């Protein structure tokens, strides 16, 4: 990672922030992208105080023009892009009969279309250089049905399929594209699903009425756990891995 340039979306909090920190600690110059400019600035200030080389770029990944503008500015100011991490994500809960058109479109706009926008912009620049690595942070819900999470699961499944197809198209240029599929991770998104102090224990235990097993390892993932997996797939240690999904969920999907 030393002296490379990495762009991380959704970098203001949660898994994206952990990835940005991990990359910075390993010597990369990080372009931290998020639509929450204020929270992004707070994150960047913390990372800089710890010695990381990181710059903030406010953008909404659902808007192609903003993404193209940010990627262009990143390369102009920081240098050629080596890595992209698609970590931006939103969650709209609800049964299918209760989901609104806005719930569905807003979820796909970030979780799927946003991945398309950033990956396309990065790939156009990586291909002539014949190098690069892209990792999309999806979810174990992409391959396992979850009650009340149809929009989220479907959007993550779309992002997973897209990333694999992109990996096939870019393989001839030496560019690898992989997916990390986290399970329950201690982030603001997960905490938004809890209604009281019993939330963590309930997540570990599972919910038979919702056909959801618990977590066999009996611990919630920390954002750093997911970041470590992302960095592995970006690194030369994964030089012969592409179009792969690495599930990081403590066994919650029973290895499926």
211 catalytic per annotation:
no
Pick the catalytic residue from 152, 155, 178, 242: 152
* Three-state SS annotation for the chain: CCCCEEEEECCCCHHHHHHHHHHHHCCCEEEEEECCHHHHHHHHHHHHHCCCEEEEEECCCCCHHHHHHHHHHHHHHCCCCCEEEECCCCCCCECCCCCCHHHHHHHHHHHCHHHHHHHHHHHHHHHHHCCCEEEEECCHHHCCCCCCEHHHHHHHHHHHHHHHHHHHHHHHHCCEEEEEEECCECCHHHHCCCCCCCHHHHHHHEEHHHCEECCCCCCCECHHHHHHHHHHHHCHHHCCCCCCEEEECCCCCCCC
Cite the active site residues: 152
């Amino acid at each position: 990672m030393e002296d490379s340039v990495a762009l991380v979306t959704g970098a203001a909090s949660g898994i994206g922030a952990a990835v940005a920190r991990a990359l910075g600690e390993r010597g990369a110059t990080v372009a931290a992208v998020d639509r929450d400019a204020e929270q992004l600035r707070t994150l960047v200030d913390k990372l800089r105080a710890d010695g990381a080389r990181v710059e903030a770029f406010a953008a909404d990944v659902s808007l192609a023009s903003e993404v193209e503008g940010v990627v262009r500015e990143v390369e102009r100011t920081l240098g050629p892009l080596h890595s992209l991490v698609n970590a931006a994500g939103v969650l709209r809960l609800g049964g299918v009969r209760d989901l609104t058109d806005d719930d569905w479109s807003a979820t796909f706009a970030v979780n799927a279309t946003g991945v398309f926008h950033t990956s396309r912009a990065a790939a156009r620049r990586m291909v002539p250089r014949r190098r690069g690595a892209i990792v999309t942070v999806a979810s174990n819900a992409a391959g396992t049905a979850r009650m009340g999470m149809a929009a989220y699961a479907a959007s993550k499944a779309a992002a997973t399929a897209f990333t694999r197809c992109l990996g096939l198209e870019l393989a001839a240029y030496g560019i690898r594209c992989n997916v990390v599929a986290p399970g329950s991770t201690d982030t603001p998104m997960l905490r938004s699903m809890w209604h009281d102090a019993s939330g963590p224990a309930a997540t570990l235990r599972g919910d038979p009425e919702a056909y959801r097993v618990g977590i066999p390892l009996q611990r919630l993932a920390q954002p750093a756990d997911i970041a470590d997996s992302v960095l592995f797939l970006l690194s030369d240690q994964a030089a012969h891995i592409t179009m792969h999904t690495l599930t990081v969920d403590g066994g919650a999907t029973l290895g499926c």
